[in-house]
Amino acid sequence: MLNQPNVLDPLEIVETWHKEGRAVALATVIETWGSAPRPVGSHLAIDSDGNFQGSVSGGCVEGAVIAEAADVIASGVPKVLEFGVADETAWRVGLSCGGRIRVYVERIDG
């Protein structure tokens, strides 16, 4: 009932950041299989300096999503990223819990 903006809300954050003149992207979990740490619909707000708020996993793949978001912010072309089980030998980014997720990353324009 308090009408103050929620400082942890990625959708409010991404709007605020855009108003401040920062280039921003929004990442959204669009599909999950098996054990996924964050449900479909979860958001992560990212700016071009790599600042972020929210989450699309329990911290497993945020780094990779933020790196890809830099491309999306530069090009304006949205991307769908897929992450599966972490491959320990190759040090590949992935989900240690064994699930798979798809994440949609889009730039906020206007």
Binding site for another protein (CB under 8 A): 1-3, 11-12, 14-15, 18, 26, 28, 30-31, 40-41, 77-78, 80, 104, 106-110
- What is residue 19's three-state secondary structure? helix
Residue 40 CB, shortest distance to another protein, in Å, is: 5
CA 50 to each of CA 2, 38, 45, 53, 62: distance values in angstroms, whole numbers, following the listed order = 30, 20, 10, 10, 10
CB of 92 to another protein, least distance (A): 24
Nearer to another protein, 30 or 86 (CB): 30
